[in-house]
């Protein structure tokens, strides 16, 4: 009888021994550590972007434990990331463990140079913070995310979901997809584009509020909007006050949508720049993101209209002035007071001319805060660099 002889190489034997040691280490996990890891991970793969649910088979939907527990710093020094930095005193400490699906586990251990200790620790912290945030909120905190996308200068800005979650806290999105009003497919041809875009907004907003939809269930909107100012005013008018809404601003310094929490709130002041020849021609200039000169206005407005200006009380107008939620709330009050002053001085006009240099959420409020039978409609103008002044775009009533 021939003697059995192993055909494994020394390297394969060492690798096998290492895997056996790792398996033994996982089996020696304290029950509390295992529970903490599953709870902190929400039963989902912690690899960045995977988020696979690991307590149910992805095809048959059979319940079971399909997770693998991986070490960030390997059980043995010769393993993946085993010699990166100071080794944990307890290699099985929950802070050195990640809950992963089998594919992601193999990926990180096959490529330890790419998936370093620092990278995996960042994945773990970010994932577990998100799970803690979402599970810490009650059902009454849900919100329907509405994303409005329209090209500005031929470009659009993506809104990452993790920025939405961070910005809407302590509320949380009802769904990852939300409601998207996308105008990027409409050809940009001046007034033709504006008219087509307005009709698209009308149709989409009607569908948004259909019975049984997401917004009916949440009874709250979180609006993330970027696009031409006239269309944002028009969008605000269609949203009206049907359900409570929070509006968000994209901040240029941090490139995110989370309202700042420090700093002094902005105040606003209303000035009358000139009195018109008749009482029924009125223009309201919003000099907030930048200054608007009388010479920028159409000639007929400069000659005939009474012109009011709502601007910052003290600071020079600039694009980054809107930082706090309170800044937006203060504008809401100042804008309503401005409309009230115009109605007091000129009666209830059919329309007034609006010349806005404002951030996106302020533009939305301009349409949303119009009260039927109380305020005049708006003839919205937009600045045209090619013509060096403002041109009429659309009417919002």
Average pLDDT over residues 276-303: 92
Pairing assessment for the beta strands 221-226 and 245-248 based on DSSP bridges: parallel
Q: Which of 67-76, 213-222, 287-296 has the lowest mean pLDDT?
A: 213-222
Q: Is the peptide bond before 306 cis (omega within 30 degrees of 0)?
A: no
* pTM summary value: 0.67
Domain finish residue from 90, 114, 135? 135
Task: Output the six-digit token pair for 333.
Answer: 């009050």
Judgement on whether residues 277 and 387 belong to the same structural domain of the protein? yes
| Per-residue pLDDT reduced to its tens digit, 95-130 | 999 999 999 999 999 999 999 999 999 999 999 999
Q: Classify residue 286: in a domain, yes or no.
A: yes
Domain region containing 163: 140-248
Q: Classify residue 101: in a domain, yes or no.
A: yes
Q: Classify residue 124: in a domain, yes or no.
A: yes
C-alpha to C-alpha distance for 296 and 294, rounded to whole angstroms: 5
Q: Quick check: 20 pLDDT over 90?
A: no
For the chain, strand residue ranges (E) read: 68-71, 97-100, 142-149, 172-173, 179-182, 221-226, 245-248, 268-274, 282-287, 306-312, 351-357, 377-384, 389-396
| Per-residue pLDDT reduced to its tens digit, 132-183 | 887 776 657 889 999 998 877 666 677 888 899 999 988 888 888 888 898 8
Pairing assessment for the beta strands 306-312 and 172-173 based on DSSP bridges: unpaired
The residue to which tokens 């034997």 are assigned: 13
Backbone angles phi, psi at 347, to 5 degrees: 80, 180
The DSSP 8-state label assigned to residue 301 in this structure reads: H
The tally of domains found in the chain comes to: 3
Q: Classify residue 255: in a domain, yes or no.
A: no
Of 277 and 104, the structure prediction assigns the larger pLDDT to: 104
Judgement on whether residues 277 and 208 belong to the same structural domain of the protein? no
Q: Classify residue 79: in a domain, yes or no.
A: yes
**Cα dihedral sign, 181-393-316-311:** negative
Arithmetic mean of pLDDT over the chain: 88
Q: Classify residue 365: in a domain, yes or no.
A: yes
Pairing assessment for the beta strands 268-274 and 306-312 based on DSSP bridges: antiparallel
């Amino acid at each position: 009888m021939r003697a059995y002889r192993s055909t494994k190489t020394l390297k394969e034997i060492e690798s096998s021994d290492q895997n056996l040691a790792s398996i033994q280490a996982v089996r020696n996990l304290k029950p509390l550590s295992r529970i903490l890891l599953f709870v902190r991970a929400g039963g989902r793969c912690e690899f960045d972007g995977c988020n696979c649910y690991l307590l149910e088979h992805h095809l048959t939907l059979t319940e079971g434990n399909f997770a693998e527990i991986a070490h960030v710093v390997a059980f043995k020094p010769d393993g993946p990331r085993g010699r990166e930095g100071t080794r944990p005193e307890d290699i099985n400490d929950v802070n050195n463990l990640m809950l992963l699906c089998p594919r992601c586990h193999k990926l990180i251990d096959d490529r330890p140079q790419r998936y370093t200790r620092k990278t995996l620790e960042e994945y773990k912290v970010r994932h577990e913070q998100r799970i803690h945030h979402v599970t810490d909120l009650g059902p009454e905190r849900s919100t329907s995310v509405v994303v409005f996308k329209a090209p500005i200068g031929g470009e659009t800005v993506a809104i990452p979901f993790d920025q939405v979650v961070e910005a809407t806290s302590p509320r949380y999105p009802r769904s990852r997809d939300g409601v998207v009003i996308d105008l990027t497919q409409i050809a940009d041809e001046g007034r033709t584009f504006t008219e087509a875009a307005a009709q698209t907004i009308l149709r989409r907003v009607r569908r948004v509020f259909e019975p049984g939809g997401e917004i009916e269930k949440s009874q709250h909107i979180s609006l993330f909007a970027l696009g031409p100012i006239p269309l944002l005013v028009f969008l605000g008018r269609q949203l009206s006050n049907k359900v409570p809404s929070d509006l968000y601003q994209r901040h240029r310094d941090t490139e995110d949508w989370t309202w700042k929490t420090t700093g002094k709130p902005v105040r606003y002041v209303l000035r009358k720049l000139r009195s018109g020849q008749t009482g029924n021609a009125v223009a309201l200039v919003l000099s907030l993101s930048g200054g608007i000169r009388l010479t920028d206005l159409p000639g007929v407005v400069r000659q005939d209209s009474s012109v009011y200006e709502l601007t910052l009380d003290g600071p020079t107008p600039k694009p980054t002035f809107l930082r706090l939620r309170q800044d937006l709330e203060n504008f809401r009050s100042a804008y309503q007071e401005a409309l009230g002053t115009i109605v007091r001085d000129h009666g209830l006009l059919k329309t007034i001319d609006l010349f806005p240099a404002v951030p996106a959420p302020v533009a939305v409020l301009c349409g949303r805060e119009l009260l039927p039978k109380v305020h005049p409609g708006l003839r919205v103008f937009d600045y045209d660099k090619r013509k060096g002044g403002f041109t009429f775009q659309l009417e919002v009533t």
